[in-house]
Amino acid sequence: MQEEVENRTVTLAISTTKLTARTLRAAIRKLLAAWNNGRDKAKIPEIPHGKQTVKQLVGQNAGVSNIEITDSNIKSFEKVARKYGVDYAVKQDRSVSPPKYLVFFKARDADALTSAFKEFSAKTVQKARRPSVLAQLRKFAELVKNNVIDKVKHREQERSI
């Protein structure tokens, strides 16, 4: 009986070893196939999305429009445009005294861009109305400095007789 159990154990060990080798070989084949497919895809140029250069945007043959922005806070617009998935390019015009920015975008993204500009302008207006936290902190610090607190302690107590 002991020999039979030992034979079954050895047979099980050999079969699992073969199974592992087969599995490893299949995994390597799949990995090599994936690498070869990746090389084929690398030959096809990928269309960029989001922020890109004007040359890339014009090269997509989708028709390009532009809008002029005079605000220097262009980073907040980029966040909103990324949120709406707009393909755009920003070009700075330095010929005028405060530099203005031209935002080029695909003609088919016009509706998404108008929504993005509405949100951007709402954020800008809200930021202009709201005073900064640092300015408020400085104001309150000045109030505390100017406010003289009576530090004299009165130790007199009223006694009732």
The pLDDT, as a whole number, for residue 150 is: 56
Residues 16 and 75 in one domain: no
Residues 88 and 135 in one domain: yes
Residues 113 and 136 in one domain: yes
The pLDDT, as a whole number, for residue 100 is: 84
Residues 37 and 58 in one domain: no
The structural domain count of the chain equals: 2
Residues 37 and 68 in one domain: no
Q: Does 161 reside within a domain?
A: no
- At position 119, the amino acid (one-letter code) is E
Contact 50, 109 (CB under 8 A): no
What's the domain range around 127?
Answer: 54-145
Q: At what angle do helices 74-84 and 110-129 cross, to 10 degrees?
A: 140
Residues 80 and 34 in one domain: no
Residues 4 and 73 in one domain: no
DSSP string across 34-54: HHHHHHHHHHSPPPP-SB--H
Q: Does 154 reside within a domain?
A: no
Contact 87, 105 (CB under 8 A): yes
Q: Does 68 reside within a domain?
A: yes
Give the CATH number for residue 140.
3.30.70
pLDDT, tens only, 11-62: 767 777 776 778 878 878 988 888 787 766 556 667 777 788 888 888 887 7
Residues 59 and 138 in one domain: yes
Residues 32 and 94 in one domain: no
Residues 114 and 87 in one domain: yes
pLDDT, tens only, 108-141: 777 887 888 788 888 877 777 777 888 889 988 8
Contact 50, 87 (CB under 8 A): yes
The pLDDT, as a whole number, for residue 114 is: 81
